[in-house]
């Protein structure tokens, strides 16, 4: 009988443990579902605000009601969880205060939104604590087909794609497509991946394959990592590198206000003379980049009306010039070696100019050429040992693109 009693007790305890475990699990699931930050927000009075300009972590805590000692201790609790030096002005916070009559106005929690995914929670009453909450993210493979009708930005939206994709495409095609001269009817077809959080696009992660059609040319771009290398690059059909000796333009996302011409009336002097340059209208301070590797031969004031200007000597007899700059980038001077894409100065209106713009010129063997028609020499193609694998992947992408285009 005693043995049966022990067995009965063991079974009861086991069932009780299972029941308690199930209840505990259900309780945790309820908390995670309805209290994602780890506490019941409905039990508190909530005040929303933004971090002020120049405000530090300690001054924010003090402003919201935490005393100096607790603010200091909370700073130490942050440790590797949150870098208090990265508190950003303008970011949103929510302060939660107890609303019972005994301790009315007592600060209980603060949530700080680092970005659209991560929120940091500070427990400010009883035992101090800090933890992070990350909203779930989803990564998805996407296809977009964009035909230019009005502007690349508007047409991206009309095609259901994020305009953030423009930045990726501009980087990939910076040697082969001039985004200042896109025309109606030009088309991009793109296979890429993106990250979403609560149905909002957080980032464009990787462009895998793209084809641009426009101006009677087709430029394909495939992301490929050679099997014995680590760095990825973008290559066109037959393994041609998209990278060229020169960028298509020395600055991004502005407009051309004046093109290359041998007969142009100067907007200031009124005289008709050659304008062997392309003018890019852009706000003062817009970054200007070297279109290719080279050596700075001139950096200073141009007495003939060009204002602050930089001239760079490149290989194969090419030279480039950047005029009307507001200022030069740090370290840029005559004799400096510069690399493709390096920041060299900023758009301005120095010299003879009606407004801020970049006067950009190119010479080949001392003869001026139109920057918009520059046929930039190509870099070396993909090595032959990679071509079998490359062609197989390229063919698969073409088939995928065709099937998606026909849907």
Dihedral (CA of 170, 171, 174, 176) sign: negative
Long-range contact set of residues 51-57: C-beta below 8 Å, sequence gap at least 24: 51/87, 51/88, 51/89, 51/90, 51/91, 51/93, 51/112, 52/89, 53/89, 54/89, 55/87, 55/89, 56/84, 56/87, 57/84, 57/85, 57/87
Reported pTM: 0.65
DSSP per-residue string spanning 89-141:
TT-EEEEEEE-SSTTTT-EEEEEEE-SSSEEEEEE-SSS-EEEEEE--EEEEE
∠ CA(308), CA(309), CA(314), 5° rounding? 165
Kindly report, residue by residue over 330-379, the tens digit of the pLDDT: 999 999 999 999 999 999 999 988 889 999 999 999 999 998 888 888 77
Instruction: Identify the structural domains of the chain with CATH numbers, from first to last.
Output: 41-134 (3.10.450.350), 138-239 (3.10.450.350), 255-373 (2.70.70.10)
What's the whole-number average pLDDT of the chain?
A: 85
Instruction: Kindly give the interhelix angle for 68-78 and 57-64, rounded to the nearest 10 degrees.
Output: 130
- C-beta atoms surrounding 214 within 10 Å: 18
pLDDT of residue 101: 52
Lowest mean pLDDT across 31-45, 111-125, 255-269? 255-269
Q: Which residue has the higher pLDDT, 148 or 372?
A: 148
Instruction: Calculate ∠ Cα 371-374-377, nearest 5°.
Output: 135
- Taking Cα atoms as reference points, which of 228, 232, 186 lies closest to residue 208? 232
32, pLDDT greater than 60: no
Size (the chain), residues: 407
Residue 272 CB contacts under 8 Å (≥ 6 apart), including other chains: 263, 264, 265, 266
């Amino acid at each position: 009988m005693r043995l049966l009693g022990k067995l009965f007790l063991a079974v009861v305890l086991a069932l009780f443990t299972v029941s308690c475990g199930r209840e505990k699990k259900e309780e945790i699931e309820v908390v995670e579902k309805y209290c994602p930050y780890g506490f019941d927000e409905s039990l508190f009075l909530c005040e929303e605000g933004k971090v002020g300009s120049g405000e530090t972590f300690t001054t924010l805590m003090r402003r919201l009601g935490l005393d100096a000692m607790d603010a200091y201790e909370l700073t130490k609790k942050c440790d590797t969880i949150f870098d208090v030096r990265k508190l950003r002005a303008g970011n949103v916070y929510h302060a939660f205060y107890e609303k019972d009559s005994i301790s009315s106005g007592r600060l209980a929690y603060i949530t700080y939104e680092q970005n659209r995914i991560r929120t940091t929670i500070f427990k400010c009453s009883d035992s101090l604590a800090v933890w992070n909450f990350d909203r779930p993210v989803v990564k998805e493979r996407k296809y977009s087909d964009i035909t230019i009708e009005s502007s690349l930005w508007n047409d991206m939206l009309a095609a259901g794609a994020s305009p953030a994709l423009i930045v990726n495409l501009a980087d990939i095609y910076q040697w082969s497509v001039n985004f200042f001269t896109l025309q109606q009817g030009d088309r991009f077809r793109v296979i890429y991946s993106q990250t979403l959080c609560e149905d909002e696009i957080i980032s464009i992660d990787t462009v895998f394959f793209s084809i641009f059609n426009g101006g009677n040319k087709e430029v394909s771009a495939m992301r490929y990592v050679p099997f014995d290398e680590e760095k990825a690059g973008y290559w066109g059909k037959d393994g041609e590198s998209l990278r060229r000796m020169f960028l298509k333009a020395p600055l991004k996302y502005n407009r051309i206000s004046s093109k290359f011409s041998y007969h142009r009336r100067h907007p200031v002097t009124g005289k008709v003379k050659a304008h062997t340059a392309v003018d890019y209208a852009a706000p003062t301070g817009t970054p200007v980049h070297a279109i290719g590797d080279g050596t700075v031969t001139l950096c200073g004031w141009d007495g003939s009306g060009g204002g602050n200007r930089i001239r760079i000597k490149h290989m194969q007899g090419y030279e480039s010039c950047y005029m009307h700059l507001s200022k030069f980038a740090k370290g840029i001077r005559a004799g400096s070696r510069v690399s493709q894409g390096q920041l060299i100065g900023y758009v301005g209106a120095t010299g003879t100019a009606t407004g801020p713009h970049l006067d950009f010129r190119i010479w080949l063997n001392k003869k001026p050429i139109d920057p918009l028609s520059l046929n930039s020499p190509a870099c070396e193609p993909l090595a032959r040992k990679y071509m079998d694998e490359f062609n197989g992947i390229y063919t698969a992408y073409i088939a995928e693109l065709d099937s998606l285009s026909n849907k």
